[in-house]
Every structure is written in C-alpha cells, then in structure tokens.
Chain A
Amino acid sequence: KAGVTQTPRYLIKTRGQQVTLSCSPISGHRSVSWYQQTPGQGLQFLFEYFSETQRNKGNFPGRFSGRQFSNSRSEMNVSTLELGDSALYLCASSLEGAWDLGEQFFGPGTRLTVL
C-alpha cells in the first residue's frame, strides 16, 4: 500500500507570494492533518480535514488555509508569504482521525523556503 505522498518536496518562494502544497493520503484514509515544523517552534498542528470538512484547527493566522477533495486528497495554501513561513510542512493521514481507530501516518514533508 502506498504511503502518504506530498508534492512538491521542495519549494522556494519570495515574500508576498502565495503557495499551494498537496497531500495524497493512504488509500482509504479519510482524515488528513497538516503540521508545520520549524527549528524554533517545533511541530505545530495547522488543521485537520475529514470528509471534505475542516474538523479541527490550530492557532495559525488566516493566511493559512486548506481544503480536502472528495478523494481525500488535501491541499494547503499560504498567502502573502512571510520569511517566518519557511518550514517543513508535514501531512498525516489516518482512517478516521480518532486515536483509537488508528494511527496517523506521516508523509515526507514539503520543505518551503521563503526568500
């Protein structure tokens, strides 16, 4: 069974631009969560989507948004990029998003660099 895939793996943008990252979950998984990983803040939860609906959201500004499609693939978008948005963005999928129903499987991440 294929794992979680994220595209692109690396991305370089300049301040003020916007960016879209993509995540394809494991087949059959309906929950997709996004995390931001930086050296200073560590791993922080961005949001979770389940059946095309945002079910949970972390403490990030509105510049960070996401969506999920009917095939469970998810995208996240960051508008008006800032230098501080440089990070590794990780996507994780799970069957239902509930801990007792299965673990989260993480993708390799997208490394975003903002210049």
Chain B
Amino acid sequence: AQSVTQPDIHITVSEGASLELRCNYSYGATPYLFWYVQSPGQGLQLLLKYFSGDTLVQGIKGFEAEFKRSQSSFNLRKPSVHWSDAAEYFCAVGAGYGGSQGNLIFGKGTKLSVKP
C-alpha cells in the first residue's frame, strides 16, 4: 500500500539557517510527489511537485526538493529560513497513475518553528 513517512514531527531552526525536511514514500510505480504547507487556520498551499524529469524541483518561496528513487525520498530544502516559514509541512504522494485519480496520501506532517 502507498504510504508517506515524515520522520520529524517538530523541527526548530534559527532564522537564516538552512532547512531540510525529510520525506520517504512507499509506492509501487513512478510516484507523483508533492510538498504542501499549512499555516494555522489555513488550508494547504502547494510548494512544489515532482512528476518526472529533473529530480531537483524548484518551488515557491525559495523551496526546492530532490527526488531520490534509490532512497524513496523527496526531501524539502531551503537555504535560508525566514520567520514567516513557520508552519506545518506535508509531503504527499498522488495515488494512481495519473488520470482519474484525485486523491493524495499525506504524511503526518512536520511542524517547523523558527527562532529569531
């Protein structure tokens, strides 16, 4: 069965420091992978996605993620964290093979706190 694991429940980084959020997935075929961010009281916003091609994908707000098939990972990175990045981050895999599959399988999320 498809699954997504985010090993870190809570991470605290200092403002200006680099960030890496880990994500591992279990999926039988080529996955569609996503990172979403959720601020308190808000819905989810897509940061970036990977479907195929270049394994390093760039997203909004200065985020990037690297797909590593051999490690079944899709880690999210940012070189310099801003206080406004404090939020909860979710990794997700799109179930199915594209086409008529509308569901995402989410990890449990990583809450990011930013120290001034």
Contacts and interface: CB of A to CB of B under 8 A. Distances in A.
Interface size class for chain B? 20 to 34
B102 A109 contact: no
A112 B108 CA distance: 20
8 contacts: A33-B102, A43-B104, A44-B106, A90-B43, A92-B44, A99-B98, A103-B34, A106-B36
Given A43-B104, A45-B103, A98-B100, 18 more contacts: A33-B104, A42-B106, A42-B107, A43-B106, A44-B106, A45-B95, A45-B105, A50-B102, A56-B100, A56-B102, A94-B102, A99-B51, A100-B98, A103-B34, A104-B102, A106-B36, A106-B44, A108-B41
B109 A109 contact: no
Contacts of B102: 31, 33, 48, 50, 55-56, 94, 97, 104
A103 B103 contact: no
